[in-house]
Amino acid sequence: MAGDLNVSEYAVILPSGGAAAGFAPAPGGVTSPFVHRYGSRVLLGQGAAVPPAGAQVATTAADLPDAVLANLSDVERFGLTALRLRLSPAYQAAKANRPRDGQSWDMGSCTDVAAARPAGLVAAMAQAAPTSSFLEGSVAVGLVIVEGPGTALRFTEEERTKVVAEVQNGLTWLAGQNPAAGVNFTYDIKAVTLNVTADPTVADLEGRWRDPAMAALGFPGSWSGVLAYVESLRTRFTTRWTYCAFFTKYPLSHFAYASIGGPRLVMDYANDGWGPENIDRVFAHESGHIFGCPDEYASSNCNCGGSWGRFEKPNLNCELCAPGGGVTCLMRYNDWTMCDVTPPHLGWHPYYRFLGRWNNSNAQGKITSMNVIPLDYSHAQIRLAYADLGEKAVNADWDDAAKALGGDTTLFGPPDAEGRRLAIESKFTISNVDPVALTMAVANRQGPRQTGTGGGVFRPPPNPTYTDTFRRISV
């Protein structure tokens, strides 16, 4: 186990010249998942690794001695030294005793804190492809550590590794809240040292260091340079979404903040009264803003209205107006909990996810068959046959993973642009039914049967009938 997330994680180090996009397919057509990608050779995932021939797998800190890291790029080494830190007893002990665990955030609103984005940039972003509309699929993340002259503004090597480890821990948790969304992160990591002194009296505290940092990276020294940088990452890594995060010790108007919808968040390494041990949760919280989530804690002056995220849902867990003050949720508390209000803000449908194994059992009153009838490019009709109610038709919307197949709305299609196969658990929304078990009749699909939890691929032999269990995991 790495960090305090209670999940099994591993690293795969591909041989030199290894495929950067992911693991090679394992026997039976299953492609092993990954959550983090560093450079062309380092992939971090969860569960059991199925690496290609010649790859090295690491599951403990002892598997990652310095000799293993010697021939890797800087970004690849950062990814592995961060994992090694998260696997260490000292890191895990610190997480078990993290400051202010479970407390409500008390930091004022952490969106649009700094000087407003120029009107021209806002207009340009409105015309351009969105950088982070909802959290599904591949995401490019630029980590920019901005340092200045003198020891007070510099990071030690241990602190740089700490930043990467905290981001890794936070985003591992975030991706794990919806495995079927296929969320994975590819990183660019830069440390920029400026010859710019700290001046807490300037009006634009962020611009003082951000603009020269962008120039040092070869982009315009302005807000537009930030947008150019994140778009360059999307192009370079061929991801769906992109954003960047600045870590610094320069004076800030707020220790952590982000723009709703991107393209950047900013964090002070000291992390105010929360300390570096809570960077992971603060980073995950701020990344929630990047993908459309509002603040839910009282000192943000939230309200229970608004139209937030992909589905324009209200902020029903706002501490100031939710019944009983709301419930525990990362957007409200320093806690690894996601409440039912946040998934729609991140852009996750209500859907049914595969649980357990396929079998031939049946039960009176349960669904006995299901047929999916494509209606057009983005919609389908699902016909459900009940043992005691007869046949019932409901409508369904295919998600964007299905659309990525270029209009092929079959349940078990070929790999999409990111190498994933469509699986039944996440590719449609069922309305007005809440089945516990269903039996599917799938016509003439050749291939072995594969099972698993949260992303398994089902390729049955001809004309089978199987029963499976689904549950609603978001609202």
| Rounded Cα gap, residues 164 and 189, in angstroms | 9
Number of independent structural domains in the chain: 3
- Does position 152 have pLDDT exceeding 70, yes or no? yes
Domain membership of residue 15 as a residue range: 9-96
CATH of the domain at 209: 3.40.390
Q: What is the DSSP string of 183-198?
A: -EEEEEEEEEE-----
Residues 415 and 319 both lie in one domain: no
* Residue 105 within a domain: no
* Residue 108 within a domain: no
Instruction: Choose among 137, 106, 127: nearest CA to 33.
Output: 137
Residues 176 and 277 both lie in one domain: yes
Residues 175 and 195 both lie in one domain: yes
Residues 70 and 201 both lie in one domain: no
Residues 143 and 183 both lie in one domain: yes
**pLDDT tens digits for 29-63?**
223 368 999 999 999 998 777 777 789 999 999 99
Tell which of 324, 346, 368 closes a domain: 346
* Residue 110 within a domain: no
Tell which of 96, 131, 157 closes a domain: 96
* Residue 1 within a domain: no
Residues 17 and 129 both lie in one domain: no
Residues 258 and 379 both lie in one domain: no
Residues 78 and 181 both lie in one domain: no
**pLDDT tens digits for 242-292?**
999 999 999 999 999 999 999 999 999 999 999 999 999 999 999 999 999
Q: pTM higher than 0.85 for the full model?
A: no
Q: Where is average pLDDT lowest: 263-267, 310-314, 371-375?
A: 371-375
The more confidently predicted of residues 123 and 70 is 70
Residues 313 and 375 both lie in one domain: no
Question: Is residue 353 packed enough to be buried (19+ CB in 10 Å), middle (13-18) or exposed (0-12)?
Answer: buried
* Residue 171 within a domain: yes
Q: What is the DSSP string of 183-242?
A: -EEEEEEEEEE------TTSS-HHHHHHHHHHHHTTS-SSHHHHHHHHHHHHHHHT-SEE
* Residue 4 within a domain: no
Q: What is the pLDDT of residue 127?
A: 78
Residues 148 and 222 both lie in one domain: yes
Tell which of 285, 317, 346 closes a domain: 346
Residues 79 and 126 both lie in one domain: no
* Residue 102 within a domain: no
Q: What average pLDDT does the chain have?
A: 75
